[in-house]
Amino acid sequence: MREFAPDVRLLAGGTDLMVRLRSGRFRPNAVVDVKRVSGWSSQIVETEGVLRIGAGVTMTDLVADTKVQRHFPALVEAASVVGSIQIRNRATLAGNICNASPAADTAPPLLVCGAIVNIASAWDERRLPLHEFFLAPGKTALAPSELVESLDLPIPAEPVGSSFQRITRRRGVDLATVNLSCTLNAAGEVRMAFGAAAPIPLLVNGTVASLEEMTAQARPISDIRGGQDYRQAMLLVMARRALEIARGRLSR
């Protein structure tokens, strides 16, 4: 990477990168297939209250994993609607985050569960909370020499309910018009994150009584998938639905 920096691209599942390479919008000097790097992890490992998801883990792997199903149902719901089965068989969770689309479906459930990004370069390692990782559309806090090694998801110490909501123009293979995830604990505290509603996926905190104030922090734009007003209105509807489902899961 140092040899070709800064014009080097990492290739994971390729479902974002290949589309962009073929569109001719950029021509990196080098493409590095990270899947062949020794020590590259496609494992999901549980240790001391943390679920560590290796950068090689695909959406299909994630959806099938019983540990993820048990602790992070909202993440499973999000991963299972990414693209088609052909896409999910290649697309990695880390790639979804590194691509930094405002509409990335796994970003909201990862944000509400307090995910930490494990970042590595040839000479250093650091950890960054996911809500500090997204900077702008397509832009992350990664330096050109850095890559994401894994994501750490803290397993909730107290009971929480979580859920995921998404609106699309058609069912199957469409990016989200708006997506949203929330967690709720027994004290009525709510963590909520939404996508395609601001330049980056946004995390907000509040309570069951402050859904309107929370969703009002969105800054949606109008584009081909929906108008600004529509998105803003839908956020509140989706927040109520998400909370209802989270409440049901909390009491179970």
Partner 1 sequence: MKLTINGQEIARDVAQHHTLLEFLRDDIGLTGTKECCAEGECGACTVLLDGKAINSCLVLAAEADGSIVTTIEGLEKDGQLDPLQQAFIDKGAVQCGFCIPGMIMAAKYLLQENSNPTEAEIKQGLAGNLCRCAGYSRIIDAVREASGGRK
Q: How far apart are CA 115 and CA 234, in angstroms?
A: 26
Select the binding partner of residue 22 from ligand FAD, partner 1, none (C-beta < 5 to 8 A, by kind).
partner 1
Shortest distance, position 138 Cβ to ligand FAD, whole Å: 8
User: 196 in helix, strand or coil?
Assistant: coil
| Cβ neighbours around 21 below 10 Å, total | 16
| Residue in this structure with the two tokens 């494990």, named with its chain if needed | 118
Binding mask 170-189 for partner 1 (x = CB under 8 A): -xxx----------------
Question: DSSP label at 197?
Answer: S
Instruction: Select the residue interacting with ligand FAD from 15, 163, 181, 183 (CB under 6 A).
Output: 15
Q: How far apart are CA 93 and CA 56, in angstroms?
A: 8
Q: Per CB under 6 A, does 175 bind ligand FAD?
A: yes
Instruction: Select the residue interacting with ligand FAD from 51, 55, 200, 245 (CB under 6 A).
Output: 55
Q: Per CB under 6 A, does 110 bind ligand FAD?
A: no
Q: Per CB under 8 A, does 29 bind partner 1?
A: no
Q: How far apart are CA 172 and CA 76, in angstroms?
A: 16
Query: For partner 1, which is the closer residue by CB, 85 or 224?
Result: 85
Q: Per CB under 8 A, does 35 bind partner 1?
A: yes
Q: Per CB under 6 A, does 104 bind ligand FAD?
A: yes
Instruction: Select the residue interacting with ligand FAD from 98, 184, 214, 239 (CB under 6 A).
Output: 98
Instruction: Select the residue interacting with ligand FAD from 54, 95, 206, 220 (CB under 6 A).
Output: 95
Q: Which stretch binds ligand FAD (CB under 6 A): 13-21, 219-227, 231-239, 242-250?
A: 13-21
Binding to partner 1 in span 92-151, by CB under 8 A: none
Q: How far apart are CA 177 and CA 192, in angstroms?
A: 17
How remote is the C-alpha of 113 from its chain's centroid? 11
Q: How far apart are CA 155 and CA 242, in angstroms?
A: 20
Q: Per CB under 6 A, does 82 bind ligand FAD?
A: yes
Listed in order, strand segments (DSSP E) in the chain are 8-11, 30-33, 44-47, 50-54, 116-120, 125-129, 134-136, 139-140, 147-154, 160-167, 178-185, 189-195, 202-207
Q: Which stretch binds ligand FAD (CB under 6 A): 63-71, 96-104, 210-218, 237-245?
A: 96-104
First-to-last alpha carbon distance for the chain, in angstroms, is 48
Q: Per CB under 6 A, does 17 bind ligand FAD?
A: yes
Residue 184's beta-bridge partner residues?
Answer: 161, 190
Residue 194's beta-bridge partner residues?
Answer: 180, 202
Q: Which residue of the chain is nearest ligand FAD when measured via CB?
A: 95
Instruction: Select the residue interacting with partner 1 from 85, 187, 209, 224 (CB under 8 A).
Output: 85
User: 185 in helix, strand or coil?
Assistant: strand
Q: Which residues bind ligand FAD (CB under 6 A)?
A: 9-17, 19, 34, 55, 82-83, 87, 90-92, 94-96, 98-99, 104-105, 142, 147-148, 173, 175
